[in-house]
Structure 1
Amino acid sequence: MDKVPGSPQGPGDHGPQDAQSLPACYRHPDRETGVRCTRCERPICPDCMVSASVGFQCPECVRDGSGTGHAPDAARPRTLAGGTVAADPRLVTKILIGLNLAAFLLQQTVGDRFTSSFELIGRAYVPVLGSVEGIAEGQWYRLLTAMFLHGSIVHIAFNMLSFWWVGGPLEAALGRVRYLALYFVSGLAGSALSYALAAANQPSLGASGAIFGLFGATAVLMRRLNYDMRPVLALLAINLVFTFGWSNIAWQAHIGGLVAGVVVGYAMVHAPRERRSLVQYGTCALVLAVVVVMTLVRTGQLT
């Protein structure tokens, strides 16, 4: 949770299809199927499905990644979203968790002065720093740095456990670069909405905006693969109850991150293959443009 201090049915195809319009398995033309290989997207029947980390793949893609000339990307193993398959699919998640833990250690070592210098605040006099501080004072970096700070051991423990649970599988499905883009865009969107709607003198901090973005993208991914969505929806519902049911929680960061995560996640897993990168990173750029506009408008109101 972002804190205010001191105050899966099985893999499926691209969408619902009429039973009479289902494609035939590329290896068994007499068998209709609604399942596609997550690498080359050719239709495959149950006899041709090979279980993978995300969804199912066809025998050719599993055997050597070479395909048969049908899939341009098959020569190199790719994730569902088009990213490169990594030897350690959780490496980025581990690094980000490590950065959060390192920042928390600095908070405990240096004290309030460190936290007050990097937490999210609109514009206010900060006694421990002895000056007027905030994003409206040109300290835009606070939109980013606040994503790595936490208010207590319970706060960071809850966030990092959620991060590990949802982040690893999502990183494996998207690939490292796309996963990083999702994480930071969602986190910045949460920070921007908090800056835009919260009181100017109300500080907040936490990785929850980015983590809610991961939850949103995970829901989109599970829907894309036609997995049972009840577990992730239940966990998201519980987090939303905490968001609006507990005091001292920056709900704006949670909602901003969640919305951005759904939008970016949809672009990541539904982008057409022929212009995949353009759609994926173009969507990230559009969300960042909204973040910039919200920040500029709010800054204009406070100065």
Structure 2
Amino acid sequence: MFVRTESFSQYIRLYPVVTFFLALNILTHLVTLIPVIGNEVYFFGVGVNAWIAEGDWWRLVTPMFLHADFMHLLFNMFSLFIFGPELEKIAGKARFLTIYLLAGIFGNIATYFLQPLEYASVGASGAIYGILGAFGALVYYTKHILPQLRQIILPIIAIGTIMTFLQSNINATSHITGLVVGFLIGLSYFHPKRIISWRKR
């Protein structure tokens, strides 16, 4: 299910929303590496709670498209590359877009309210955990139909959650909030009655 065998062109055609977010995150990171301009872009978008409190509301959105370093970007984009396509295929483009954005944004909102004013964060992790949360909801509804999905997703969610609290410099608030938001949205999107209505269209 999570083994990607598509060619580059097939991947772009089949998963346009995932491709868009992959490209946006990678290009944004490359821009932040440009001398002078890169620093301006990074500091314009980083989620600093004190600056949000002063009215920089866009920082509730922009941090999910910035990354601290290459390894941070690589880990998040690899996760999006692997897990995103299957969810986009199952949920559809618009629903996947909703899950991804709302999980990331609410992760940043929770960070603002639950962390101190001096707290600063960047990264797409909240949105990535939203994808995992949505799969968790799918597992909830299909545990007797798709046992393989359950065997794959639940350990990944468990390991990801544990590692969130074991590693340093991790925005645990964003991770957990994204996971919960993705799960709740998934409960709505993947409800059996709604799935049946999709198939009748």
Partners of 2:190 and 2:132 lie apart in 1 by 14
Tell me the residue number matched to 1:176.
93
The percentage of aligned residue pairs carrying the same residue is 34
Tell me the residue number matched to 1:160.
77
Tell me the residue number matched to 1:187.
104
Residue aligned with 1:111, SS:
helix
Residue aligned with 2:94, SS:
helix
Judging by fraction of residues, say which structure has more helix. 2
Asked if the contact 2:134–2:182 (Cα under 8 Å) also holds between the matched residues in 1, the reply is: yes
**How many residues are matched?**
182
Unaligned runs of 5+ in 1: 1-7, 9-86, 124-133, 278-303
Given residue 112 of structure 1, which amino acid in structure 2 is its aligned partner? Answer: N
Partners of 1:163 and 1:206 lie apart in 2 by 12
Tell me the residue number matched to 2:178.
257
Tell me the residue number matched to 1:117.
44
Partners of 1:106 and 1:241 lie apart in 2 by 33
Asked if the contact 1:166–1:218 (Cα under 8 Å) also holds between the matched residues in 2, the reply is: no
Deviation at 1:242, TM superposition (A): 2.0
Deviation at 1:240, TM superposition (A): 1.5
Tell me the residue number matched to 2:25.
100
Partners of 1:101 and 1:274 lie apart in 2 by 34
Given residue 98 of structure 1, which amino acid in structure 2 is its aligned partner? Answer: A
Query: Structure 1, residues 159-185: CA drift from partner, whole Å, max 9, x if none?
Result: 011111111000000110111011111
Partners of 2:40 and 2:16 lie apart in 1 by 31
| C-alpha RMSD over aligned residues | 2.1
Partners of 1:101 and 1:185 lie apart in 2 by 20
Q: TM-score, normalised by structure 2?
A: 0.84
Residue aligned with 2:47, SS:
coil
Asked if residue 268 in structure 1 is aligned to residue 182 in structure 2, the reply is no
Bigger Rg, which one? 1
- Structure 1 residues 113 and 237: alpha-carbon distance in aligned structure 2, compared to 1, 3 A threshold: same
Q: TM-score, normalised by structure 1?
A: 0.57
Partners of 1:220 and 1:272 lie apart in 2 by 14
Asked if the contact 2:141–2:192 (Cα under 8 Å) also holds between the matched residues in 1, the reply is: no
